[in-house]
Structures are given as C-alpha cells and as structure tokens.
Chains A and B, each alone.
Chain A
Amino acid sequence: MADKSFFIDTTKCTACRGCQIACKQWNMNPATKTLQRGSHQNPEDLSYATFKLVRFSEFEENGKPVWYFFADQCRHCTTPPCKIVADSLNVKAIMQDEATGAVLYDPKVKVKEKDYKEIRGACPWDIPRWDEKTQGMAKCTMCIDRIKEGLLPACVKTCPTGAMNFGDREKILSMATQRLEQVKKHYPKAQLLNHDFLRTIFLVVDDPKKYHKFASVTPETILASLNEVLTPVG
C-alpha cells in the first residue's frame, strides 16, 4: 500500500454535506444537538463526534454575494506537529501509519485536558478534538479500515461532483497541479494549500482566510511552529 493523499477541489464543492454525513455514518459518530444560529454551517465546529465539517463562508464583494465552501478535515501532515507534541508529552494516543501516512488517534488512550490543549495548540489547522467524558482524542481516520481493504474513504465515495478525491500521493499531486493550471485561467489567485507537506490538499480560488481562519499556513509559520515543538519541553 502506497503513500496516500486527498485532493479537495473547492471549485466543485456544492456543500451538499454528503461527505460530512458519510463520515458520521461510517464512524457511527453520534449527531450532536444543534441550533440554527444564522448559518447553514452545522454543527458549528469539528468535535469528538464530527470529523468532517463543511464550513460556509459568505460575504459581499463588489456588490455581489460570494459563498465559499470548505470541507474541513485533518490534513494528515507528513510531519504531524500533534504527534510530535504528544510524543514529547509521553501521550501515546497518536501514531502514523507507515504505509499510507495516515495520522491516527486512539480514542481509548486517556489524555489529560492540559495535554490535549497543548496538542491541539500545535496544530495550525486546529483539528485535534477531545471528549471530556472518555478523555479520548478523535479526528479523521483517513478511513484507514476502508482503504486497507481497497475502498475509498467514505467522504470521497459519497461526493457526487468530484470535489473529494483520494489516491496514491503521486497521482493526487499530479491531479491537483493539473487542476490548478486549469482553474488559474479563470481565477488567477487560485492556489493549492500547503501541498508540499500535507496529505489533504485543498484547492482554493481566493485568499484562504476568506474560506476559513485555519485554512492554510504560510511555510514560515509552519516551520516556526515546528521548530517550537521540536524544542524539548520543560
């Protein structure tokens, strides 16, 4: 089994929530109680029970409405800062699958709240989540059980438009760069987000901050935070 990656083409996403719900179904994650808060984004944020979340961002530009959809999930970093911090805290909840590169949390490992906060703080995309009752951490699993059987992750399988893609990293990188070239013709500001060191690669057509606060980081920031976490604690 080879090194895997996701390519998420936001230009094809219609925010149908198929990925969000397929993930819930496959993982048998419970639904949480939500309220209508003045947005179609629900639940409000990722959580111990929500690994995949379609984020809605709307605003006006030049008198015209703009509505961006960002199907957020763990980036499965090639060098995951969450794991580095966890290891340094002797929290054995996080591992990385050698074959696929999937970053996996074991929800049965109890993690102290202050350790969880540090681990979460290390993630530039604000992905790690924790359950107060079980003290376990959880996030996107890359559907490791599915992909080991040759199936696609649930979110990818469900996506009707081709926004969600998954496969061997080489092929995915090639797909992403080709699509970027195509899209740039209409959207000169289009970019791939941190594709060099992530296994979940987003394509956006605008400033990533317009999609989501934690959509991307500049290479300098990630290097700086990596340097920080690589420094021994205490």
Chain B
Amino acid sequence: MTNHYIDFRNADVILNMGGNVAENHPVSFKWIQEAKNRGAIFIHVDPRFTRTSTKADIFARLRSGTDIAFLGGMIKYILDNNLYDEFYVKNYTNASFMVNPKYSFDDGLFSGYDPSKRSYDASTWALEKDENGIPKRDMTLQDERCVFQLLKKHYSRYTLEKVTAITGTPQSDLEKVYAAYAATHAPDKAGTVLYAMGWTQHTVGVQNIRAMSIIQSLLGNMGIAGGGVNALRGESNVQGSTDAALLFHILPGYLPAPREQWQTLEDYHKTTPATKDPRSVNWWKNRPKYLASLLKAFYGDKATKENDFGYSWLPKLDKTQDASWLNLFDEMYKGTFTGFFAWGMNPACSSANAGKVRQALAKLDWMVNVNVFDSETGSFWKGPDTDPKKIKTEVFQLPCAAFMEKEGSISNSGRWMQWRSKCAHPPGDAMPDGEIMYDLFKKVQALYKKEKGSLPDPILNLKWDYETDGKFDVHKVAKEINGYFLEDIPEHPVDKKEYKKGTLVPSFVYLLDDGRTSSGNWIYCASYTEAGNMAVRRKKDDPTGLGLYPQWSWSWPVNRRIIYNRASVDLEGKPRNPNRALLKWDAENKKWVGDIPDGPAPPMGTEGVYPFIMKPDGVASIFGPGLKDGPFPEHYEPLECPIEKNLMSNQRINPVIKIFEGGPDTFATCDPRYPFVCTTYRVTEHWQTGVLTRWLPWLLETEPQMFCEISQELAKLRGIENGEKVFVESPRGKVWAIAIVTPRLKPFVIAGQTVHLVGIPWHFGWLHSKDVGVNANRLTPTVGDPNTMIPESKAFMVNVTKASQEPAKKAGKA
C-alpha cells in the first residue's frame, strides 16, 4: 500500500473495488468504521452483494472482468466535468508531457503491435524529450499530443451507455459512484481506494490498478492522508515476502533479477534508471549501491571489487524468461525439472488449473512439503483418482512451526514491519522455517565441500553464519538485512561523520557501491540499527493526530508511513489540506515536520525537486509506457467470456497474453456448454486453500463445505433449490458444491444479453475433512496477466447443474 490501514480513517470517501474488505480484511474494517463515524462515504463495487456491501453507503454491481470499463467511465466523467485537481495534475503528474508523434491507438491496439509475436514494440510510446533530455511539456494541457489530451481522447469512448452495456451496471449507479468519488478532487477532500484479488486476478489485472492510479492522480489523492492506492495484501507476511524477493524476477528490495544478457556488473548497471532532468531526484539511480551492498550481504569477504562482488555467482534468467507460477508448473508438467520445494503453500489446491498441477507433481522425482499441517500437495500421491503405486515422487514432509511458535517480523500491507515474540513451543519435531532453511543449507554446503558439484562457488561462498550457540538466530538475519559498515569509514561522503567497522548502517542513504557496506535488503535498511530493533517498538504517540504512530514498529522506507507525501503540499511546502497536515515545511529551521518526507530536499518551488522521487521523471505517470499491454488501460474481455464481441473494440482479449495450449490447458468461450460467468473468492472464516483453517474445528464449524452462490433467477432456470447439491463444471474440471440461492447475486444484462454469474470459494480440498469438497481451482484456467502472470481466477466460464434429478427437499432460507 502507498498508505496504511489506520490511515483509512482519514478518508472522506472510501472506494472498495476489486475487493471485499469486510470479509477478507475484517480487522481493517475498524478503520473504515471510524471513517464512517466521522461522516465518510463508503462505496462498494462488486459482482456480488457481500457482507461488505451491507455497510456501504453506495453499492454498485458489475460483471466480473469489466473493471477497466467501469473505471474508464469514471475517468471520462472526471475529465468531462472538470473534476480534476488542476494544480496537482499540472505539477505532480506527467499529464503535461508530450508523447512521441508515432504513438497511436486504434480499435483496441496501441502502435507497435506484432500479431505474430503477440507483443508490442513500445518504442512509439516514448515521451518526448528536448535537446537536453528534459521531457517536453505543455503546461496548458491543450496540445493534442500532450498526455492529458491523449487521455481525454482515449476515454472519450467510455460513455455511460457503453460502460453500462459492458459492465451491466445501471447508468444511475455509475453516476452515483462517479459523482461521490470524484468529489475528492478538492484539496480538502481525500479519497482512498482499497483493492485486492478482484482487480489483480485478471488478464488485465495490472491495467486495472493503472486505471485507478490514473484516477487518483487526476484527483490529487496520491501522497495524502486518507488517499493512496491501497492493496489489501493476503498472507500476513506476503508484503515481507515480495520485499525479500520470493519471486523469480526480482532481488531483495525490488532490484531486477539479473539476466543472461547482463554478464557483468557493468552491464547490469547500464539498466539503472536515468534522467537528465536536474529536478528529478530519480532515487533508483542509487541502485548500484544497493546491489553492491546486497552482494556483500550474500557473499561477505568473498565478494570483492575484483570479482564484481560475486555478481557472476548469481543465477541469471534467460534473456526473456518468465519463470512465474503458471510457467513454472507448465515446466514441471513437461518434466523439465525433477525436484520441488512446496514451502508454506498448497499448489495442488491454490494453483489455477489445479488438476494440471496434480499431474505435474507426479512427474517429479522428489518433493519437500513444508507446512503446519499435511495438505493436498503433501499427500497428492494418495489423492482421489490417484494410485500411489503409479507415483514415483518421493515426498518429504517437514512440519513447521506456526506463527506464534517462532520469533521474527511480519510486514503488513502498510509496510509496517511488526516484530513478534515466540509465545509457545512448536509441537514434536516442528521447526521454524528459518531454522529448517538454515540447517538444510548448511548440509548442502557440506555436501558441496565434499563432492564438489557442478558449480560450487555460489554455494561455498555464500555467507551463512546466522547462528548463536549452534542455533539459528533470527536477530542476526534481521541485522544482516539492515546492513553493516564493513570497514572503518573515517569520513562518510554523505555526512562527513565517522562510522566504525561492524556497526549497523543507520539508513540506506549511507550505503555505498564500493564494498564497504552490506545490506540484505536496502528498503529495510534502518529497521535494525545501533539504537536497536525498530520493529519491536510499540509506542502510541501520534504527533500529527493522523494515525501515523511513528514509533509503533517500523515501516519501510526509513519509517515513512505515507509514500509520495511530498505531493501533499503546495510548491512552498504548505499542506494543501491544513486539517490533515501530513507534512509541512518549517522554513525557519529548514526542515520538514510530520511524516518522514520523501527526501529532505526543500519544497519544489520553481527550481526544486519533483515529489515522485522513485520515478525517473519525478512525477506520477498518467501515461505509463513501461507495461507490456499499453500506456493506457483498455477494456478487453477475459479469456473465457460470455459475449462474442468486445463492445469496446475488435480486440476481444488482451492482445499480449500468453495462450497455453494442449493437454490439460483447454478453454471455452461463448460455448453453450459453459454459459455462466464464474468467480472465485474467500470468506472470513477460512484462509486460502483452507490448509490451516480446515483443521481448526471452530472455523470449519462456521463454513463446513464447498458452496456455490447462485442468483434466484439462475436457480429457477436450472430448477435448483437452496441447500441442494450441484455440479459446477468448466472445460478443466468438475466439482460438487451446495447451492446457496440468494438475492445477493443477480444476472447482468450485457449488450442486451442475460449473463448469469455464480461464485465459489476456494477454501476446500479432499484431504481434510471428509466431505468438505474439493478445490475451486480445478475449474480455473491457465492464463494470466501479461506483466505479472497472475492467473485469471475471477472470470471464467462454467456450467451449473443439479446433482440429483429428483426434486430437492426444501432446505430453508439462506
């Protein structure tokens, strides 16, 4: 999140879309309720009327997979009615920038599309620069080639009529939502948006978020209290896990993972973001310091200037390799690799097209399953329709400690790194994950020492000394993540002060590119310093009154609570909303007061630095040329969709998504065998695949079995009674579920056609307990967003039929 949970209470309007916040982030609803207590308006936009909707002042329904149409309509509404924050748009975004004259958009395609490669050459999407390399601008926003006018042109097509026809949302509801949300363009009004998988799990997932970022930039809601673009993250520490780069494409701190074409450190550094504009801070220019420090944390003394700090020991991806989940399991299915760690996850249930994954697991020679309980993954070899005698995979089950049985930090959606104590011993042989990893790798190193292996250097040279008295020490890891001075530094270039070898680095500002500093993750530098473990702090002081609580734990970066906060002030550094003064410039003492500023530089004025310091151009991107599918979000239908034609253009689906074909990867669109749109979701009472929660009787008691929510209209169509068993089927699989017939789901009218929606939770699995049902992911397709490959679990096509041909007993009302 750009902001944080408590900050929700500062909003005047809260939009929850692509998410179901009361059900899936129930504790965060405390802050939304506080905002409501202060008169805030809460809007919920969702295909279903959920527990969240009951608390909404405005509820609007939309068809799964049509968020860009909905948001595109909002952009048009904002522009048509001049409901944008003109000062903010002109000064803090790239709305005034001029775009390459070769850029164009026509009938669903941006310039540079190669249909044979299903990809874009994005060179025509470039922003124009003058002879000094400074972006060309039209500050009047009138030039037809400036971003602002191109934005207007692009979204002029998203009329209310078109949007209604695509989304199924009544025009009056669209206008209600648009009017309420656009009111936050006023400098003294803050609008925040809360979203989750309902936006991300689509083949247009990233562009969904982009659309909202554009809206927040137009309304001046980025970088202010009560504003921002706020992802409600899932696992309690998923934020921590992406920060620590548990994804193929990054290194800790969101540095790009090295690729084959960057053989040397110098090659890698050639890709460091650059700018010629002296007013753009372009903080990523410091990347070489962070990579050098990371490599020193990895390889210690073995990393030297001479050997590029061990850069050659880092694995390199192939030139354009995408090793994300869908591709990973596709390779596993093809037998490309033979060993697999399923660490704290349950892919046999959680993966899109779970049936394919179950087959893939059987191709492995070995698998290590680390979890608190056994799962459908660990026990895949004895699953339904599986003959253990035919499975060659050797499975190692390693029980691990649950969250309260170990010490360490968890980084929440708001980037707050909260340290937790150990309050109970893990049972039996269960160990904390960190201990398992640490001991395992020690053994691997010992084997490499003895047997050499094919490339021993990266293994043997890895710094692996995080123990105290022979036991894994999480504090040593936390300190390594923060980083150390590795030599005495008599006069540091930044502040001229002296720093001693072996002391902890105060913040990433002090990291160097010459091997004299280490840091396991530059964004966490300042979390564990000579002053102590900042994540442990629990002080309730709140000097600004905005709920920042700067001494409650620690947030990255450098304890900044709301990022891009320099956009909350005017050019002189005065808060644009004095009632929610996040930051203000104290001219007398030449410093900022309030939240930690995005850099200590003085206010922007006419010669100072721009506020969006992480962007090469220093401003928010309304035009975003860096994504695979276009610089402006455009509505495309999901891969499996209910209508033959995309009403927006002749490009039915996202033109750059990867199509997996053959074997277990089948799709069906506009197929009468699968006439209903299906979406998947969660309930408060279960967690993910239920791998933890199905084993907890109190939770299973509340939601005991797989269900399928269907509208009364669909129930009538299929003769289904509330509480009776049904089958839900897609081209990939078939599951049973208990029907919940409810007025909370309604059919949509899409381009004059009735389109039914059904919904299923993905919390169940065959292993435990008996008769709870199997996982919804048996039905979902292997297709994902082109930028992130997150699977399209929120919109695909199914059929729903009665399980029994006999008329069902009346089971009572929902």
Decide if B814 touches A56 in the complex (CB within 8 Å). yes
| Interfacial chain B residues near A58, Cβ < 8 Å | 742-744, 813-814
Q: In this assembly, does B738 line the interface, its C-beta being within 8 Å of a C-beta of chain A?
A: yes
CB distance from A154 to the nearest CB of B (A): 12
1/0 per position for A35-70, CB-CB distance to B under 8 A? 111111011000000000000101110000101110
| Interfacial chain B residues near A162, Cβ < 8 Å | 30, 33
Decide if A31 touches B698 in the complex (CB within 8 Å). yes
Decide if B744 touches A42 in the complex (CB within 8 Å). no
Decide if B706 touches A160 in the complex (CB within 8 Å). no
Q: In this assembly, does A14 line the interface, its C-beta being within 8 Å of a C-beta of chain B?
A: yes
Q: In this assembly, does B336 line the interface, its C-beta being within 8 Å of a C-beta of chain A?
A: no
Q: In this assembly, does A71 line the interface, its C-beta being within 8 Å of a C-beta of chain B?
A: no
Decide if B29 touches A160 in the complex (CB within 8 Å). yes
| Interfacial chain B residues near A67, Cβ < 8 Å | 49, 51, 53-54, 744
Decide if A34 touches B701 in the complex (CB within 8 Å). yes
Number of interface residues of A (CB under 8 A): 34
Bound state CA distance, A201 and B297, in angstroms?
A: 59
Whether A18 contacts B698 in the complex (CB less than 8 A), given A37-B723, A39-B740, comes out as no
Which listed residue, B27, B739, B813, touches A160 by the CB 8 Å rule? B27
Decide if A161 touches B698 in the complex (CB within 8 Å). no
Residues from 680 to 694 in B contacting A, C-beta threshold 8 Å: 683-685
CB distance from A82 to the nearest CB of B (A): 26
| Interfacial chain B residues near A15, Cβ < 8 Å | 51, 54, 684
Residues from 3 to 40 in B contacting A, C-beta threshold 8 Å: 22-23, 26-30, 33
Whether A40 contacts B22 in the complex (CB less than 8 A), given A31-B700, A58-B742, A67-B49, comes out as no
Decide if A37 touches B742 in the complex (CB within 8 Å). no
Q: Report how many A-B pairs have Cβ atoms within 8 Å.
A: 117
| Interfacial chain B residues near A42, Cβ < 8 Å | 701-704
Sort chain B's interface into a size bin.
35 or more
| Interfacial chain A residues near B814, Cβ < 8 Å | 38-40, 56, 58
Decide if B49 touches A20 in the complex (CB within 8 Å). no
Q: Which residue of B lies closest to A159 (CB)?
A: B30
| Interfacial chain B residues near A56, Cβ < 8 Å | 814
Decide if B54 touches A14 in the complex (CB within 8 Å). yes
Residues from 57 to 108 in A contacting B, C-beta threshold 8 Å: 58-60, 65, 67-69
Question: Most B CB atoms within 10 A — which of A14, A25, A68, A69?
Answer: A14
Decide if A38 touches B811 in the complex (CB within 8 Å). yes
CB distance from A50 to the nearest CB of B (A): 8
Which listed residue, B26, B721, B744, B811, touches A14 by the CB 8 Å rule? B26
CB distance from B54 to the nearest CB of A (A): 5
Question: Most A CB atoms within 10 A — which of B685, B811, B812, B814?
Answer: B814
Q: In this assembly, does A30 line the interface, its C-beta being within 8 Å of a C-beta of chain B?
A: yes
Which listed residue, A32, A33, A40, touches B703 by the CB 8 Å rule? A40
Q: In this assembly, does A12 line the interface, its C-beta being within 8 Å of a C-beta of chain B?
A: yes
CB distance from B770 to the nearest CB of A (A): 11
Bound state CA distance, A14 and B525, in angstroms?
A: 39
Which listed residue, A14, A18, A38, touches B723 by the CB 8 Å rule? A38
Q: In this assembly, does A24 line the interface, its C-beta being within 8 Å of a C-beta of chain B?
A: yes
Bound state CA distance, A128 and B26, in angstroms?
A: 30
Decide if A43 touches B49 in the complex (CB within 8 Å). no
Q: In this assembly, does B699 line the interface, its C-beta being within 8 Å of a C-beta of chain A?
A: yes
| Interfacial chain A residues near B700, Cβ < 8 Å | 31, 34
Q: Which residue of A lies closest to B26 (CB)?
A: A16
Q: In this assembly, does B230 line the interface, its C-beta being within 8 Å of a C-beta of chain A?
A: no
Bound state CA distance, A37 and B702, in angstroms?
A: 11
CB distance from A156 to the nearest CB of B (A): 14
Q: In this assembly, does A203 line the interface, its C-beta being within 8 Å of a C-beta of chain B?
A: no
Q: In this assembly, does B722 line the interface, its C-beta being within 8 Å of a C-beta of chain A?
A: yes
Decide if B705 touches A35 in the complex (CB within 8 Å). yes
CB distance from B242 to the nearest CB of A (A): 26
Which listed residue, A16, A24, A38, A68, touches B698 by the CB 8 Å rule? A24
Decide if A37 touches B51 in the complex (CB within 8 Å). no
Decide if A32 touches B54 in the complex (CB within 8 Å). no
Decide if A31 touches B697 in the complex (CB within 8 Å). yes
| Interfacial chain A residues near B698, Cβ < 8 Å | 21, 24-25, 31
Decide if B683 touches A40 in the complex (CB within 8 Å). yes
Q: In this assembly, does A120 line the interface, its C-beta being within 8 Å of a C-beta of chain B?
A: no
Q: In this assembly, does B741 line the interface, its C-beta being within 8 Å of a C-beta of chain A?
A: yes
Q: In this assembly, does B521 line the interface, its C-beta being within 8 Å of a C-beta of chain A?
A: no
1/0 per position for A169-209, CB-CB distance to B under 8 A? 00000000000000000000000000000000000000000
Decide if B743 touches A60 in the complex (CB within 8 Å). yes
Which listed residue, B701, B707, B743, touches A59 by the CB 8 Å rule? B743
| Interfacial chain B residues near A39, Cβ < 8 Å | 722-723, 740, 812-814
Which listed residue, A30, A59, A160, touches B26 by the CB 8 Å rule? A160
Can you list 10 A-B pairs with a CB-CB distance of less than 8 A? A12-B33, A14-B55, A15-B684, A16-B22, A16-B29, A17-B684, A33-B701, A36-B740, A40-B702, A42-B704
Supply 18 further A-B pairs (C-beta < 8 A) apart from A16-B684, A38-B812.
A16-B51, A21-B698, A31-B700, A31-B701, A35-B705, A36-B703, A36-B706, A36-B707, A36-B738, A38-B707, A38-B721, A38-B724, A39-B723, A42-B701, A65-B742, A69-B51, A161-B30, A162-B33
Nearest first, the 10 A-B pairs at minimum CB distance are A38-B723, A31-B697, A38-B722, A36-B705, A31-B701, A14-B22, A36-B738, A16-B26, A60-B743, A65-B743
